[in-house]
Structure 1
Amino acid sequence: MASPSYRLAALDQDFLLSEGMRGVRFLMEYEKAEEALRAWGVRSTIVVFGSARVGEETSPNHARWYAQAREFGRIASERGGAMRGEIGQPRDNVIATGGGPGIMGAANRGAHDVGAPSIGFNITLPHEQEPNPWSTPELTFRFHYFAMRKMHFAMRANALVVFPGGFGTFDELFEILTLRQTGKERAIPIVLVDKAYWTSVVGFDALVEHGMVKAADLDLISFAEDAETAWAELLARGLNPGAENSADPAQPALQSEPVTG
């Protein structure tokens, strides 16, 4: 009875963390977050990315980006359908971030300011990331696998708003851009905040000039300078306040499964 082989499989940590159980751990990371999101009635989200290094007082630019991310979290939560509280009433356009500090914390904070729920999809890193204090505790998750975290970001997204950031922000932005370009994601709007920043760090036009993307691919993104214009741009590009975005009419097969697993 003292042998590890006698332990119940579900209570055997050595077994659950073994190489052979990796697929099971993938499933567990998917389903744990999925159950909580269903319980809160989260039908759709607005994903906000941006640097974890941006603070309210780190520099004038950083302070401006932080303030606008916080304001956007407030605007989207108030106007998008996240604050519905009736039993059985779905919540739409709920703010979802990577759960960390900086821009992510600012967007969660904006939702918190008006009493709306918001999501934090945290990831285990070598230097431990702690969740910011503004995401809703019951909707604050921690993932081991980047792939599963990205899937949760994409599968409910009604829109993507990206503030200035570094490698991690680029990774998430280009993940969603690739899904849109290849028809694996619905026709969700993608808005980059602060055009001067983005056009200085990413040569979008150069990609076209070198034949790496089509000119039409650049229509997948648009720019805004502040929270209010970002919200207006989302509406102009088809965001449905208080509803789940419809699938791209050109991709009818994606309506029931907008993201492949």
Structure 2
Amino acid sequence: MDNGKPSNTAHLSSPSYRLAAMDQDFLLGDSMRGVRFQLEYAKAEENLRIWGVRSTIVVFGSARVHENGPGRHSFWHGEARAFGSIASQRGGAMTATGGIRDNVIATGGGPGIMEAANRGAFDVGAPSIGFNITLPHEQEPNSYSTPDLTFRFHYFAMRKMHLAMRANALVVFPGGFGTLDELFEILTLRQTGKAPPLPIVLFDKAYWQSVIKFDALLEHGMVSPDDRKLVHFAETAEETWAKLVENGLLVPTS
């Protein structure tokens, strides 16, 4: 106390006096969930715009498929890597034409198939995107996505939004629960008209037909014949690219 005036030390140290933008306790509180959601949208959006990314080719697949894995794992991994190179070279990701890049490879940013597709782009000197997610058992980004285009999300919903909103095409390699979730998210958006037309190719028909009985859904009247036509199959990286183009992938002509 100075001349009868109380000290303001407690005021200066009170959490309420912190600048709101610098107050982590406040920003991480329940009332700021909407703001955090907006921040996750804006941060990725800003970097994607800086890099001129207008459209992407999204590649889904298991994090458990490795380069020297058992059975068909090594084949799936190798073809995902080959597809990353092919799509990057032919789709418009290599150079920014008028400041714009198209069909940039985008993955979930983790290991396995995701790493393989990012690595394919890396092999030919093209940028690629990694939309990573914070998980209970921490998943680090793979080392092949472009650092400036490697993002980390808390909210699955915002991560899915970024994966979907620029997608010109979707390629899905064999995977488990997460891959199925992401696949059916895009299929539902297409079925309901919430996403524009885009080709969807599933890699390795035998695998997918053993996991999902697409024709049974049609037979039981759960989907329409047009819904069933949303899904195409391919067996190699080259065939995958051909199926995308055949079914409407937009590829820059210059």
So what's the TM-score if we normalise by structure 2? 0.94
Is residue 2:57 matched to residue 1:46? yes
Q: How does 1:179-198 map to 2 (within 5 A)?
A: 179-198=189-208
Residue aligned with 1:60, SS: coil
Is the 1:94–1:119 Cα contact (8 Å) retained in structure 2?
Answer: yes
Deviations 1:4-39 (A, max 9, x none): 000000000000000000000000000000000000
Cα deviation, 1:166-213, whole Å, max 9, x if unaligned, reads 000000000000000000001000000000000000011111122211
* Seq. identity, %: 74
Relative to structure 1, the CA distance from residue 85 to residue 216 in structure 2 (aligned partners, 3 Å threshold; closer, same or farther) is closer
State the partner residue of 1:124. 134
Give every structure 1 segment of 4 or more consecutive aligned residues whose post-TM-superposition deviation is greater than 2 Å: none
1:156 equivalent in alignment to 2:166:
yes
Equivalent in 34, 38, 44 of residue 27 of structure 1 = 38
- Name structure 1 gaps, 5 residues minimum: 244-261
Which amino acid is the alignment partner of residue 92 of structure 2? Answer: G
Matched with 1:99 is: 109
Q: Which residue matches 1:6?
A: 17
Deviation at 1:215, TM superposition (A): 2.3
2:80 equivalent among 57, 64, 69:
69
Residues 41-62 of structure 1: CA distance to partner in whole angstroms, max 9, x if unpaired?
Answer: 0000000000000001111300
For residue 48 of structure 2, what is the aligned residue in structure 1? 37
Distance (Å, rounded) in 2 between the aligned partners of 1:3 and 1:41 = 43
Distance in 2 (alpha carbons) for counterparts of 1:216 and 1:138: 39
Shift of 1:216: 2.0
* AA partner of residue 4 (structure 1): P
Which of residues 224, 227, 230 in structure 1 aligns to 2:234? Answer: 224
- Equivalent residue for 1:84? 95
For the aligned residues, what is the CA RMSD?
0.9
8 Å contact kept, 1:93–1:242: no
- The 2-side partners of 1:41 and 1:218 are apart by 34
Distance in structure 2 (CA, Å) of the matches to 1:209 and 1:127: 40
Maintained 8 Å contact 1:47/1:157: yes
Matches of 1:134 and 1:223 in 2, distance apart? 26
What residue identity is the alignment partner of 1:24? V
Q: Which residue of 1 aligns with 2:3?
A: none
1:66, distance to aligned residue in structure 2 (A): 0.3
Q: Which runs of 5+ in 2 are unaligned?
A: 1-11
- The Cα of 1:89 is off from its aligned counterpart by 2.2
Aligned to 1:200: 210
> CA–CA distance in 1 between the matches of 2:126 and 2:95?
9
- CA–CA separation in structure 1 for the residues paired with 2:198 and 2:141: 27
Count of aligned residue pairs for this structure pair: 242
Are 1:215 and 2:225 counterparts?
yes
Per-residue CA distance 1:189-242 (angstroms, 9 max, x = gap): 000000000000001111112221112211001000010000000000011212
Alignment check: 8 A CA contact 1:54 1:65 kept: yes
In structure 2, what is the equivalent of residue 134 of structure 1?
144
Q: TM-score, normalised by structure 1?
A: 0.91
Q: Assess if the C-alpha contact under 8 Å between 1:192 and 1:198 holds in 2.
A: yes
Larger radius of gyration: 2
Q: 1:85, CA displacement in angstroms? A: 4.0
Partners of 1:216 and 1:36 in 2: CA distance: 37
Pick which of 63-72 and 210-219 moved more. Answer: 210-219
The aligned amino acid for 1:39 is: I
